[in-house]
Structure 1
Amino acid sequence: MPTLVLLRHGQSQWNLDNRFTGWVDVDITEAGRQEALKAGELMKAEGLRFDFAHTSVLKRAIRTLNTALEVMDQLWVPVEKTWRLNERHYGALQGLDKAETTAKHGEAQVKIWRRSYDVPPPAMDLKDPGHPANDLRYAKLDVKALPGTESLATTLDRVLPYWHDAIAPQLKAQQTVLVTAHGNSLRALYKYLTDVTEAQILEINIPTGIPLLFDLDDALKVKSFRYLGDPDAAKRAAEAVANQAKAGKH
């Protein structure tokens, strides 16, 4: 049957620093590397044999993917890197401390920016050096396609064409596919796959470094899904993500 695994990158330096990261190309920490190693061990123990893997063009996802595949002795698996799997663009919030932003703007407003379905944060100016239009890795893309901010809804709009064009055909061919990406690009896919409501997705948090396995039918409808390993550990990790803006830590 078609099998899909979603894996959020291991802890990044800005996860640790509790900053809005978005499209900033921040690397993983040593703790993040350990999470990636553990993810590989969990997938190996599950007996997964991947036919193809997809990731973003951000090093925290790429390094997590490579680390996990190395543990599985599957570095040979073909990998496609795409900007469409990048993290949600956090606009002018990128680089800011989450707890400090909460203290300044209030918990309710920051929760709207972080977790609302269709309300984006304030946009980043096109002339900002951090805008993707000024990044070489996106130089061949139409500048109009590059976001200065995104909501989860517009992140889903960005991710879905890649799902339909690249990932879904592989799954329909009965392949086993690994997608290693980011909290919000994966939340967007989660919403699409599970058909949860806009209200329900606000409370869904994807923990770092814990593989989420989907068993699909031939029409790619979800038959079942679960985190690999200890379910209580996955629940605690997801709760930690939800509490970032409050706690000032990850």
Structure 2
Amino acid sequence: MTNRLVLVRHGESEWNKKNIFTGIRNPDLTDKGLIEAVWAGRVLKGEGLHFDVAFTSKLKRAQHTLDIILGEIGGDIPEVIEDPALNERDYGELSGLNKDQARERWGEEQVLSWRRSYDEPPPGGESLKDTAARVQPYYLEHIWPHVAAGKNVIVSAHGNSLRALIMFLEKLSPQEILDRELATAAPQVYRLSHTGDVAEHRELVRSEGRDSGLG
């Protein structure tokens, strides 16, 4: 199998477990997150997938997930490229707060608006639109050329940075991408045409692990 692009959201992090807005903060994986990453590696190996190049963010939950996946697949370790363009959406002043704390400070309606709006950033943070403005150009300049050359590429990143990329790949509207949920450590396997259009997409998902929306 060649010419595959696989996107994987990191396994459950310590702050996911506590329902805390994480963003560009840097907690590691929980024990459950480690197990999820192992599962992702094994299911990708079962698909017969090996990777020529790997991309990840500068945050250790995504890096750790990638390391585990590649270790489970085995064989030659691909080139790994880390870049902050793939970091999670910056939640600004929401970072480090759980949902209850955020609601007490700003009100439930406002917090919900920040979480689910495409272009409204929280104080000092990024909207999904802002995140897309760094993720999508990075994909076109650095990731797509490898896929176009017939390589298998894996990207281990975050709920919102991957949403921004999926929005571009699948040509989704701002509302459609807000309704899209990504399970932790559930590989999204794409086969792309020579023009970069999606020819095939499959989600390899467990029965649990749906998105908390908190990074």
TM (normalized to structure 2)? Answer: 0.94
State how far apart, in whole Å, the 1-side matches of 2:61 and 2:33 are.
Answer: 9
Tell which structure's C-alpha radius of gyration is larger. 1
For residues 1-250 of structure 1, the aligned pairs below 5 Å read 2-74=3-75, 76-123=77-124, 149-230=125-206, 233=207, 236-238=208-210, 241=212
CA contact (8 A) 2:24 2:89 kept: yes
The separation in 2 between residues aligned to 1:108 and 1:207, in whole angstroms, is: 25
CA distance in 1, matches of 2:202, 2:108: 31
Superposition deviation, residue 100 in structure 1: 2.9
| Paired AA for residue 204 in structure 1 | R
Q: 1:103 to 1:204 in 2, by over 3 A?
A: farther
Alignment partners' CA distance in 1, 2:76 and 2:174: 37
Preserved contact between residue 66 and residue 75 of structure 1 (Cα < 8 Å): no
2:26 and 2:203 map into 1 onto residues whose CA distance is 27
Whether the 8 Å CA contact 2:3–2:151 is kept in 1: the answer is yes
Name the amino acid aligned to 2:6: V
Distance 1:101 1:223, change over 3 A: same
8 Å Cα contact 2:19-2:212 kept in structure 1: no
Using the TM superposition, give the Cα deviation of residue 199 of structure 1 relative to its aligned residue in structure 2, in angstroms. 1.1
Instruction: Give SS of 1:188's match.
Output: helix
C-alpha displacement at 1:223, in angstroms?
Answer: 1.3
Which amino acid in structure 1 is aligned with residue 8 of structure 2? Answer: L
Counterpart AA for 1:181: A
C-alpha distance in 1 between matches for 2:209 and 2:32 = 14
CA distance in 2, matches of 1:98, 1:75: 42
Which range is displaced more, 92-101 or 82-91? Answer: 92-101
RMSD over aligned Cα atoms: 1.7
Q: Which amino acid aligns with 1:208?
A: T
CA contact (8 A) 1:20 1:95 kept: yes
Matched to 2:69, the amino acid is A
Under a length normalisation based on structure 1, what TM-score does the superposition of the two structures give? 0.81
Using the TM superposition, give the Cα deviation of residue 26 of structure 1 relative to its aligned residue in structure 2, in angstroms: 0.8
SS at structure 1 position matched to 2:74: coil
Q: Distance in 2 between matches of 1:78 and 1:172?
A: 17
Matches of 1:46 and 1:99, distance apart in 2: 41
Spell out, residue by residue over 1:110-139, the C-alpha distance to the aligned partner (whole angstroms, 9 max, x if none): 22111211000011xxxxxxxxxxxxxxxx
Q: What is the CA distance between 1:201 and its match in structure 2?
A: 1.2
Q: In the alignment, is the contact (CA less than 8 A) between 2:183 and 2:209 conserved in 1?
A: yes
Would the aligned equivalents of 2:183 and 2:205 in 1 still touch at CA under 8 Å? no
Please say if residues 69 and 75 of structure 1, whose CA atoms lie closer than 8 Å, have aligned partners that are also in contact.
no
| Structure 1 alignment gaps of length 5 or more | 124-148, 245-249
Look up the SS of the partner of 1:180 in the other structure.
strand
